A and B are shown apart, each in its own frame.
Chain A
Amino acid sequence: MMVKTKAIFLIAALGLSACSNAIGWRGDDTAAGAGAGAGLGANGAGLGAGVADPRSPAYFQQTVGDRVLFAVNDKTLNTEARTTLAAQAVWLSANPEYAITIEGHADEQGTREYNLALGAERANAARDYLISNGVAGNRIKVVSFGKERPLEICSDESCYAKNRRAVSVIAGGFTS
Chain B
Amino acid sequence: MRQVLAGLMAGLMVLGTGSVVMAQSGPLRIEITDGVIEPLPIAVPNFVPDSPAATELAVNIARVVAEDLTGTGLFREIPSSAYISQVTNFDAPVQYADWKAINAQALVTGAVGVNGNRLTVRFLGHDIFAQGDLGEGLQFSGTTEGWRRMAHKVADAIYSRITGESGYFDSRVVYVSESGDKANRRKRLAVMDYDGANVQYLTDSASIVLAPRFSPTGDRVLYTSYETGFPQIHVLDIGQVQRRILSSDDGIMSFAPRFAPDGRTVVYSQSQGGNTDLFRMDISTGQRNRLTSAPSIETAPSFSPDGSQIVFESDRSGSQQLYVMSVNGGEARRISFGKEGRYGTPVWSPRGDLIAFTKQNKGRFHIGVMRTDGSEERLLTSSFLDEGPTWSPNGRVIMFARQSQGAAGRSTLYSVDITGRNLKPVRTPDGASDPAWSPLQ
Contacts and interface: CB of A to CB of B under 8 A. Distances in A.
Contact of A7 (B200, B228, B269, B360): B200
Interface stretch (B87-95, B154-162, B178-186, B415-423): B178-186
A120 B345 CA distance: 18
Nearest to B201: A11
A21 B387 contact: no
A34 interface: no
A172 interface: no
Contact of B274 (A3, A113, A125, A148): A125
Contact of B253 (A110, A143, A154, A155): A143
Interface string A109-126: 111111011101101110
A153 interface: yes
Interface in B261-305: 269, 271, 273-276, 297, 299-300
B355 interface: no
Contact of B358 (A75, A111, A127): A111
Nearest to B433: A112
Interface stretch (A12-20, A48-56, A91-99): A12-20
Nearest to B250: A141
A142 to B, nearest CB: 7
Interface centre among A2, A3, A17 (most CB of B within 10 A): A3
B52 interface: no
A120 B206 contact: no
A13 B182 contact: no
B205 to A, nearest CB: 8
B146 A141 contact: no
B320 interface: yes
B434 A112 contact: yes
A150 B409 CA distance: 12
Given A1-B146, A4-B200, A114-B297, A153 B407 contact: yes
Contacts of B230: 23, 143
A111 B143 contact: no
Contact of A3 (B181, B238, B253, B320): B238
Contacts of A127: 274
Contact of A113 (B226, B299, B384): B299
Contacts of A148: 185, 187, 208, 210
A22 B299 contact: no
Contacts of B187: 148
B248 interface: no
A110 B360 contact: yes
A115 to B, nearest CB: 10
A167 to B, nearest CB: 15
A104 to B, nearest CB: 8
B356 interface: no
Contacts of A113: 210-211, 255-256, 269, 299-300, 344-345
Contact of B297 (A13, A17, A108, A118): A118
A128 B393 CA distance: 45
A121 B269 CA distance: 14
Interface centre among B149, B273, B297 (most CB of A within 10 A): B297
B405 interface: yes
Contacts of B18: none
Interface in B393-436: 403, 405-407, 409, 433-434
Nearest to B295: A121
Contacts of A150: 182-183
Listed from nearest, the 4 A-B pairs whose CB atoms lie closest are: A124-B274, A23-B229, A117-B276, A18-B206
Given A13-B241, A128-B274, 12 more contacts: A3-B200, A3-B239, A6-B239, A6-B241, A11-B202, A21-B226, A22-B229, A111-B345, A113-B300, A121-B274, A127-B274, A155-B405
Interface of A: 1-4, 6-11, 13-15, 17-23, 75, 108-114, 116-118, 120-121, 123-125, 127-128, 141-145, 148, 150-151, 153-155
15 contacts: A3-B200, A8-B200, A9-B241, A14-B203, A23-B230, A110-B360, A111-B358, A113-B211, A114-B300, A116-B255, A117-B276, A120-B274, A124-B274, A143-B229, A143-B230
